[in-house]
Structure 1
Amino acid sequence: MSATQTAQLMHGTSLAERIVEEAAAKAAEISRHTGTSPCLATVLVGEDPASATYVRMKRARCAKAGIKSRHIVLPGATTTAELIDTLADLSSDPDVHGILLQHPCGPHIDERAAFEAIAPEKDVDGVTMHSFAAMSFALPGFVSCTPGGIMRLLEAYDVELAGKHAVVVGRSAILGKPAGMLLLAKDATVTYCHSRTADLSAIVREADVVVAAVGRPRLIRGEDIKPGAVVVDAGYNPGNVGDVDYDTALTRARLITPVPGGVGPMTIAVLLAQTAEAAANQLGVQQR
């Protein structure tokens, strides 16, 4: 790309709407065949305003897609054992088809232990070790929603991954790590970077595809983007700022996701799609 060109934007909003429409159609079909609507249970520990807002947004999207939602709010002082009991009860409830534990839950909660209390067949957020193993071995299962949304975006914009060098900046259990596994499954050569990576800029400059998922505003500068690279910014920081310096990256990348409006809408869309899929599996509805 020349210095005067700007990247094409990878918008997630319209693609997410299509995915939600497909989920709604599947939910309606399930309801017609069984008399039961798919149900997503959301669990929130404490009253963190941002987490409460996210849950409200997800429940509103559920309603639009014909997916019932059951919301459980637990006190901030809830112990790990109490949270595990709640998640275990939901896992054994036949009227609940998907479970979402809103995180972070607070420093006093062992989140990994809590996640593992979710039955794999109801892990529509893709947070359990079972789901991560399925992603790693390219086996059937539920993907982590944000990485799953990223992969759908890349597919929609015809990004060739086989043989390409993908650099994932971030190693969280529900974003960075699974994103790398899904990219690897598409035959990309994957490099993970993180807070202790030496000379991050030099590694990013070698990337054909950059996935920024570290939660540090404008960490990746435009000058670090290889001309013609594909940039996926999964960061969301105060002030609608991503992990990539968008304005400078725009003149270097071939494709780039905006913040907001890029990865974010895809996350909820994949959650709803996987909830409908989980319900179909549990209720024995043949999927087309």
Structure 2
Amino acid sequence: MTIKEMQNLKATLGLEYISPMILSTEYINRYIIENKIDPNSIQAQALYRINEHSNNLEIQKNISGVNIFFFEGAGSYNRKDNPNHPEGRYGAMVIVVKDGRIEFISTRASTLPNNPDGYWAENEKGRMFTIDSGVYKYVSVMHKSNSPQKRYPALNVQAIKFDKKTNSIIYTDRVPGTRTLVINDPSTRYKTTGGGINIHKGIPDDKRASATSGWSTGCLTIHPNDYAQFAQTVGFASENDGSVDVNDKLYNASGFVIIDKNFQK
């Protein structure tokens, strides 16, 4: 069934069309028990919340493919020595789901920049960008890092839009989010768009993730100790030495990434 046919069916029925769940409830229950996850924890709540996104048209198209979920506020990284991230720099939980199964999970991820509501770089030439919750497309790219010589396999996040001229879905590098007019004043946030938003590896030292560190000015990050397994699971890199770096080949990979900030404080 095409997207247009699904939309027509939705309009005809007056419903968010009937669709299979991303994960069965029985599977989630068993996964929580087998992996000794506290059933009352935010992490368990996040697992059940995956199915809240089942009725998205793009997810339904890719229901058997590789979908990535970021739940901001469901992380368990407990280093809290960064003043810009009082709950810990890696405050998100990232989950990779494929064909009704959880293939990867880490509670050391982030959808936030170095200094939310602040500026990046010493000269304050740009306001920090924070991506909105939503469903996005991802495609494999080489992350530029600080120089072309340090490029390594990563994923680029793209917005999903409906093009009225062609009556089709298109993907764009400009994604929705927020910045602030006044540094560190959340009341001055305004809606805008940002480009070049990637999913890449972060840095291990929480203290370095400051307003003057350019390692994440709006991108989604995963702790470097978990990144290689994440890359291999999604399929955009195949590493043999436990890390993803400039020496690793980039493989084609695409799918959808869901950013959910329901648990963010």
**TM-score normalised according to structure 1 size:** 0.22
| Higher-helix-fraction structure | 1
**TM-score normalised according to structure 2 size:** 0.24
More contact order relative to length (CA 8 Å, sep ≥ 6): 1
